[in-house]
Amino acid sequence: MSIVVENSTVLSALTEKFAEVFGDTKEVEYFFSPGRINLIGEHTDYNGGYVFPASITIGTTGLARLREDKKVKLYSENFPKLGVIEFDLDDVENKDGELWSNYVKGMIVMLKGAGYEIDKGFELLIKGEIPTASGLSSSASLELLVGVVLDDLFKLSVPRLELVQLGQKTENDYIGINSGILDQFAIGFGEVKKAILLDCNTLKYEMVPVELRDYDIVIMNTNKPRALTESKYNERFAETREALKRMQTKLDIQSLGELSNEEFDANTDLIGDETLIKRARHAVYENNRTKIAQKAFVAGNLTKFGELLNASHASLKNDYEVTGLELDTLAETAKKQAGVLGARMTGAGFGGCAIALVAHDNVSAFEKAVGEVYEEVVGYPASFYVAQIGSGSTKLDVE
């Protein structure tokens, strides 16, 4: 799969930079990997539930070529002060502190562990447009970018689902974050103007046309930095695992995603801890909200869809407790504006982004009003952009 790239200005600047960093541009190949938004279904992926993400046109671009030796040389336009990061192919098991090169090393380790041969070094220059720690999934974008680069350079023919799973394995086992498969799946399987309803238990999925008619999805970035490894993400993972374990003493279930709201409510005594009940209730209710939201979306009932976005945010705030002042200010201010059907945080929380469903003609007034309130409350500005739903990770067809 490859797409013809539209933004030739960006590519020509990156081509010049590649020549400057690595000497010339002979035999260079071009790649793109998107970020993602999750329309609804937050923190359900690692609880065996449904998610409803879409890949977006903001992402990570990479230029790469093979070397004849075993040296890997990396350069990021986002971290120019780091210069060229260099390591030997035989030294990929050792992590580079907190550097972005760990995502490259991790993907090499996982591909080799799965039996694929990577026997030469390579050069890779990247530029990411996704704001770091924004909750639009810059790390999964990079993992899948490296995946498609290695797949192409070494002619590996890795099935797309396996590449997605190896991206998640990199995140879990190499980087050390207990994330589910939502991010990598959305970025690997994304299609233009389509969202993905994914059952994280079975990995069965359905491509759903995004028909917003007179509405836009506006991404609102808190501009509050967050690092997932330093956040309470792993703590929430552990809390829902513990709640599940307690429910399994009586219920024959493999995940919280198997429960209806009614079944959950009838069995909370098995959990016996108020905090754990709240965490598990979010996972169960959010999963069932996601299934209803997809039906509303397909039926063209955007008003219902917006109501579910609002309910999702309230649950993430009150039961899962992953929002905070910045995300609450954005989502709660957004839903009061004219022409807004609903708003919620998206991503892991603790900073990052929120999304709102806004009437197209109201977008400018919306951004101004929400931006003013946010800066007054938080003390620094938010950023706004309208999400365009784009392709998944791919090689670019550069003319």
Residues annotated as catalytic are 183
Q: Which amino acid is at 228?
A: L
45 is in an annotated binding site: yes
134 is in an annotated binding site: yes
Residue with structure tokens 């974008």? 141
Q: What is the C-alpha separation between 197 and 210, in angstroms, rounded?
A: 12
44 is in an annotated binding site: yes
User: Residue 272, by phi and psi: left (phi above 0), alpha (psi -120 to 50) or beta?
Assistant: left
- Cβ neighbours of residue 27 closer than 8 Å, sequence gap 6 or more: 65, 66
Q: What is the C-alpha separation between 366 and 356, in angstroms, rounded?
A: 10
Tokens of 257: 């995603």
Tokens of 391: 């392709």
In 170-215, where does DSSP find H-type helix?
182-189
179 is in an annotated binding site: no
139 is in an annotated binding site: yes
In the chain, where does DSSP find H-type helix?
8-22, 101-113, 138-153, 160-169, 182-189, 233-247, 261-266, 274-298, 302-318, 325-334, 363-378
Q: What is the C-alpha separation between 356 and 346, in angstroms, rounded?
A: 10
Q: What is the C-alpha separation between 163 and 184, in angstroms, rounded?
A: 9
249 is in an annotated binding site: no
Angle between helices 325-334 and 302-318 (to 10 degrees): 160
DSSP 67: -
| CA angle in degrees (0–180, nearest 5) for 320-359-189 | 60
Tokens of 356: 């709102």
- Cβ neighbours of residue 196 closer than 8 Å, sequence gap 6 or more: 51, 52, 53, 54, 185, 186, 189, 190, 205, 206, 207, 208
DSSP string over 8-33: HHHHHHHHHHHHHHHS--TT-EEEEE
Distances, alpha carbon 280 to alpha carbons 47, 316, 346, in Å = 9, 11, 19
Residue with structure tokens 């780091």? 82
133 is in an annotated binding site: yes
365 is in an annotated binding site: no
129 is in an annotated binding site: no
Query: Which positions make up the binding site for Mg(2+)?
Result: 139, 171
Query: Which positions make up the binding site for substrate?
Result: 42-45, 233
Query: Which positions make up the binding site?
Result: 42-45, 76, 133-139, 171, 233
Query: Which positions make up the binding site for ATP?
Result: 76, 133-139
